[in-house]
Amino acid sequence: MRRLIECVPNISEGRRPEVVEQVVSAIRDVPGIYMLDVETDADHNRAVLTFCGEPEPVLEAAFQTVKMAAQLIDLHQHRGQHPRIGAADVVPLVPLSGVTMEECVPLARQLGRRIGAELQIPVYLYSEAATRPERRNLADIRRGEFESLEAEIATNPARQPDFGPSRVTGAGATAVGVRLPLIAFNVNLATDDVSIAKAIARTVRESSGGLPYVKAIGLPIADRNIVQVSLNMTNYRETPLFQAFEAIKVAAAKYGVTILESEIVGLVPGEALVQVAKHYLQLERFDPRQVLENRLQEALGDN
């Protein structure tokens, strides 16, 4: 079995396609890398890049992502709806096949050490790679965003990075971690009242007593005059997409608001969509091997 790791860097640029393309080109230039997806969002002012490969090329492509983003993006000039601390804001490693979560942890730390030493960018290790329990949750690292980090990193011991200097430039800092596949799932509401979206986010997210493995924030989508509940589903097997969708639907109804649409940002495991199909279609005795592409992959193997 091939040793494959997925990497999903989020960079703080979603409005200048030429900048995103330069970062993507730096990734594509690394031999052995498979570029899977590029998703940009102008409101969030953010791009989600997805690539995979063997561990060594993945680490090199991840490093080049951070290097290029740092050269092209200045957070002193950046504004967007999504929280961020860095030009290359977050760089997670996701084990796909032939490699375990535990084996990815030293790889993440190796990457973080190199970013800190060669690029002089502060690095915070999070999730499974975290060296401190209070840094497992990415939201805790990003609290206050770049502006707060810039003001506190030199004087607040809690802000000391795992690698790199205790100072930031316009490139900010980078969070490097190891995690399960994450689904970025947005639900748009038929209202322009952002307080409703924020209230619903508080209702459904785990940190406020809502659904396990769900992170959520409420955001305005100004150009469409609507609002959004933006979710990160960190364990879709324990809390599936349909459960989060229904929870938002019920909460929105209490405010007399309906759901306009939902969207998935980046890639999604097929299993997560099968869960949704089984729930809403009430499929009986459905086996994921009935999905044509799954059976083809099984038959063709590594080919």
Strand, coil or helix: what is 279? helix
C-alpha 129/C-alpha 106 separation (Å) is 8
Burial 215-236 (b: 16+ CB within 10 A, else e): bbbbbbbeeeebbbbbbbbbeb
Give me the amino acid identity at 274.
V
Residue 196, C-beta contacts closer than 8 angstroms, at least 6 positions apart: 189, 218, 227, 252, 255, 257
Catalytically active residues, by annotation: 82
Nearest in space to 167 (alpha carbons), one of 119, 209, 228: 119
The whole-angstrom distance between residue 226's C-alpha and the CA centroid of its chain comes to 23
C-alpha 99/C-alpha 94 separation (Å) is 9
Contacts 24+ apart (CB under 8 A), 19-23: 19/72, 19/73, 20/47, 22/68, 22/72, 23/47, 23/49, 23/65, 23/68, 23/69, 23/72
Give the up-direction half-sphere exposure of residue 35: CA atoms within 13 A in the CB hemisphere. Answer: 16
The owner of tokens 């038959």 is 299
